[in-house]
Amino acid sequence: MPVYRAKEGVLQLPDSSEEWTKEFTFIQAADCQLGLEWVMIESEHDVANTDWKNYYETSTWEDEIRWCKSFVSMVNKMEIKPKFAIMCGDILDAMPERWPEVRDRQNVDFQRIFKELDIPLVCVCGNHDVGNSPTQETVDKYRSEFGDDWFSFVCNGVFCIVVNSQYYEDPQFVPEIAAEHDSWLCEQVEIAKSGKYQHSVIFQHIPLYVETPDEPKIYFNYVPELRAKMLKQFSEAGICKIFCGHYHRNAGGWYDDKMELVVTSAIGAQLGKDKNGFRVVTVQEKEITHEYVELEDL
C-alpha cells in the first residue's frame, strides 16, 4: 500500500480505535537512508579531493534498495501481522537543500519499494529529510513528499506522538515553525498525561540520549539542558517509550523505572557492529517489549 501521510496533525490508520482490545505488534525501523552507503564508501577514500557534485549526480543506492526490499519481504511474511511499521527518520540520504534532484530520484525508489508493504508505513522526519538546519523550503519539500512532519495517531488504544526532532537540534532559520511544533508537543504531552490511553509513546529521529540520560552532548543526542527538561516532562506524563534512530547502532536505556528510550539501528548503512535490521515491538496490556531483528540477505 502507498506510504501513509498525516494531514493537519493527524494520521489515520486502518485500526485507529481509541479503545484497548488486546495485545498487538508493530514494527519500528530507522535510517533506510537511500544513498548513504555510497557516501560512506567514498568517505573512506580521498574526501578532500572528491568532486561531490559529480559524485552525487552519479551516485546509486543499490545496497539500500536490497536492504529495503528485504525489510518489506520479511515484514510481509510475518505470521502475526503487525498493525503498522514506522520509519524513524533519514528516509533518504540526499540533503534537500543541496541535492534536491538526487533526493527526488531516491524518493521514487523508496515509494516504489515500500508500496509493496502489506501494512501501513508511517514516516518520521530526520535531519537528512529537512537538512541539518531546516528552512521553510526544506520543510515544504518534506511535507510535499511525505505529508506532515509532526503529528499524532492512535492505534488500538495506544497514543503515538511523532516529533520532528530537528527543530530542537537547529531551529535558527525556522523559529516560528519550531515554536508551533513545541506548543503542539506540549498539548500532546497533556493528552498523554490525561490517562485516556492504555500507553503513550513517542517516535522521533534524534535520540535525547544514546546511553545514559546525563551523558554529554555529542552529534547523536540532544543538548543536556533541553534533554533533562523534556525527559522529565515526558516521564511525568506517563510516556513509557521513546523510539529513535539516527545513531545507526542499537542503544538506549531507561530514564527511570517507567520510561525507556530505545535507539534502533539502521535498515541502511551501519556505523557500529550491529547488522542491518529493525525492531518488532509487542504491545501488551501492562507493558511494551521489543526485539531487534536482523535483515535476511536476499
Task: Return the bridge partners of 154, or none.
Answer: 159
Q: Which is nearer to Zn ion, 90 or 149 (CB)?
A: 90
Residue 90 CB neighbours (<10 A): 26
- Min dist CB 145 to Zn ion, Å, is 16
* CA-closest candidate to residue 82, choices 50, 117, 113: 117
C-beta closer to Zn ion: residue 98 or 258:
98
For residue 30, the minimal CB distance to Zn ion (Å) is 8
With H, G, I as helix, E, B as strand and everything else as coil, classify residue 87.
strand
Give the nearest residue (CB) to Zn ion: 246
Kindly tell me which of 117 and 244 has the beta carbon lying closer to Zn ion.
244
Count of alpha carbons within 13 angstroms of residue 16, beta-carbon side: 9
Site size toward Zn ion, by CB under 5 A: 4
265 binds Zn ion (CB under 5 A): no
Q: What is the three-class DSSP state of 197?
A: coil
Query: What 3-state DSSP class applies to 202?
Result: strand
Measured between alpha carbons, how far is 80 from 149 in angstroms, rounded to an integer?
A: 29
**Least Cβ distance, residue 246 to Zn ion (angstroms):** 4
Strand-strand pairing, 199-203 and 158-162: parallel
C-alpha cell at 146: 511525505
Dihedral sign from CA coordinates of 214, 30, 11, 21: negative
**Distance in angstroms (rounded) separating the CA atoms of residues 178 and 171:** 6
Segment near Zn ion (CB under 5 A); pick from 17-25, 85-93, 135-143, 261-269: 85-93
Binding of Zn ion by 246 (CB under 5 A): yes
x/- mask, Zn ion, residues 184-213, rule CB under 5 A, reads ------------------------------
Q: Does 93 bind Zn ion (CB under 5 A)?
A: no
Interface mask toward Zn ion for 118-157; x: CB under 5 A: --------xx------------------------------
Kindly tell me which residue out of 63, 90, 129, 145 binds Zn ion, with binding defined by CB under 5 A.
Answer: 90
Nearest to Zn ion of 165, 200 (CB atom): 165
Footprint of Zn ion (CB under 5 A): 90, 126-127, 246
